[in-house]
């Protein structure tokens, strides 16, 4: 039979439905409910944040913390940093019940949580410790800009936010991740050799390939090529190694390497720089109006550090409204990385199986509008269909397979 006829004999739709059928019944309902609930949490988290910020302003707590800070030093920057410490501790405490529900209780309800509450709290304490270092620096920089450039501070503020984002991106794999995960070298063997070969083909640093003990926190699978410049490193979650086959690991790593090779960190950062600019512009224009309408807050103006909750209130609303745009930006990059991964790993069936595994907590078959507005990754159905189309187009004599039922 001619090759063209062989290609035509592979039925993309039938192959796609075979994989989609692996997640069905209660498991499919559970996945859909979890994901749809997560979408609602975006809205409710914004509501909770707005209420907390409003309460801090209306109660006079924010103004009191500013007076407390200024009573201890005459230096504006130091007073701002002292306020930031109080603000971080207070807002974290007020948000804690919601954080416990969304980050622990709900995850446990859907059988995604692996750690006990005590260990989860320890991780939250680590995150708080990082915030107590970073938030004072960020607020001191932002309010210094507001005082020095009151008319166009939003431009400089957006620039500062972008700089802090890039610093965080660079620091994540080498300074932040090790605080939450035990990192160990991937052992020598065929799998490591396979990943190294893929990395070297695309000039990705692969001297070290780390395994993070994500299993102590969650049942999710993941991997990444993270960092910037000298901090770039390949990291695999131990769940990926224990719950998937070597071909599936290769499929995932091909995708993650695609982000690096295609420069998605830099391209996405450019998109988010524009988003930051728009957000800071709205915040700069709306916050003075909000403060003027509420004199009981005892906030002198935008340059008053006590205005922090008001600034964050407006920013929260803007970020929430911009969720579909943010999702589209990220989803576009993810789709490109999918295509790169298929070309690199050449494992369409393994990639389809990974899509099913990820659909344990991502809705597998959303409607097109739902996927466009709310998905920051292509849906499982989209990914599987693209993988099967790639298989038909690139694999000579592509054969239909009967995927096995997941047991992990």
Residue-level pLDDT at 404: 82
Domain parsing of the chain, residue ranges: 3-394
pLDDT of 199 strictly over 60: yes
- Band (91; pLDDT cuts 50, 70, 90): very high
pLDDT of 3 strictly over 50: no
Residue-level pLDDT at 407: 54
How many percent of the chain have pLDDT more than 70?
97
Q: What are phi and psi of 113, to 5 degrees?
A: -90, 135
Q: Please, are residues 158 and 279 in contact by the beta-carbon 8 Å criterion?
A: yes
Find how far residue 400's CA is from the centre of its chain: 35
The 10s digit of each residue's pLDDT in 113-163 is 999 999 999 999 999 999 999 999 999 999 999 999 999 999 999 999 999
62 Cβ neighbours under 8 A, 6+ residues apart? 56, 87, 297, 299, 306, 307, 308, 309
- Band (207; pLDDT cuts 50, 70, 90): confident
Give the β-pairing of 233-237 and 223-226: antiparallel
> How far, in Å, CA of 61 to CA of 297, rounded?
9
Residue-level pLDDT at 406: 52
Residue-level pLDDT at 72: 94
Please name every residue paired with 233 in a beta bridge, in sequence order, or none if there are none.
226
The 10s digit of each residue's pLDDT in 289-338 is 999 999 999 999 999 999 999 999 999 999 999 999 999 999 999 999 99
The 10s digit of each residue's pLDDT in 25-81 is 999 999 999 999 999 999 999 999 999 999 999 999 999 999 999 999 999 999 999
Q: Does pTM top 0.85 for this prediction?
A: yes
Q: CA angle, corner 221, sides to 215 and 226, nearest 5?
A: 100
- Band (2; pLDDT cuts 50, 70, 90): very low
> How far, in Å, CA of 329 to CA of 272, rounded?
9
Residue-level pLDDT at 9: 82
């Amino acid at each position: 039979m001619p090759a063209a006829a062989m290609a035509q004999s592979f039925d993309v739709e039938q192959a796609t439905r075979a994989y989609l059928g692996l997640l069905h019944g209660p498991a499919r309902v559970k996945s859909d409910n979890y994901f749809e609930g997560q979408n609602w949490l975006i809205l409710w988290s914004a509501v909770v944040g707005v209420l907390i910020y409003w309460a801090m302003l209306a109660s006079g707590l924010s103004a009191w913390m500013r007076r407390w800070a200024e009573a201890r030093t005459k230096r504006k920057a130091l007073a701002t940093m002292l306020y930031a410490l109080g603000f971080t501790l207070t807002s974290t405490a007020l948000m804690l019940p919601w954080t416990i529900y969304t980050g622990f209780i709900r995850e446990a309800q859907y059988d995604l949580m692996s750690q006990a509450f005590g260990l989860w709290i320890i991780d939250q304490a680590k995150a708080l410790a990082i915030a107590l270092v970073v938030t004072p620096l960020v607020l001191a920089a932002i309010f210094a800009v507001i005082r020095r450039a009151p008319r166009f501070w939003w431009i400089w503020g957006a620039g500062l936010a972008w700089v802090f984002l890039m610093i965080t991106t660079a620091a994540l794999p080498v300074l932040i991740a090790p605080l939450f995960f035990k990192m160990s070298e991937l052992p020598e063997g065929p799998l490591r050799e396979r990943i190294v070969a893929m990395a070297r083909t695309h000039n990705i640093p692969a001297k070290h390939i780390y395994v993070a003990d994500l299993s102590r926190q969650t049942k999710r699978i993941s991997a990444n090529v993270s960092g910037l410049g000298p901090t770039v490193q390949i990291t695999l979650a131990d769940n990926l190694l224990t719950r998937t086959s070597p071909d599936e690991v290769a499929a995932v790593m091909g995708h993650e390497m695609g982000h690096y090779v295609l420069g998605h960190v830099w391209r996405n950062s450019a998109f988010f720089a524009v988003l930051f600019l728009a957000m800071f512009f709205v915040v700069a224009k709306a916050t003075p109006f909000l403060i003027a309408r509420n004199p009981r807050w005892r906030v002198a103006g935008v340059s008053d550090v006590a205005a922090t909750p008001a600034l964050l209130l407006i920013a929260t609303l803007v970020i929430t409204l911009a969720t579909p745009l943010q999702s589209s930006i990220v989803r576009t990059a993810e789709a490109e990385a999918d295509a790169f991964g298929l070309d690199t790993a050449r494992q369409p069936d393994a990639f389809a199986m990974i899509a099913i595994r990820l659909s344990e907590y991502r809705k597998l078959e959303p409607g097109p509008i739902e996927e466009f507005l709310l998905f920051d990754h292509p849906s499982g159905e989209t990914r599987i269909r693209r993988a099967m189309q790639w298989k038909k187009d690139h694999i000579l004599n592509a054969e239909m397979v009967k995927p096995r039922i997941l047991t992990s």
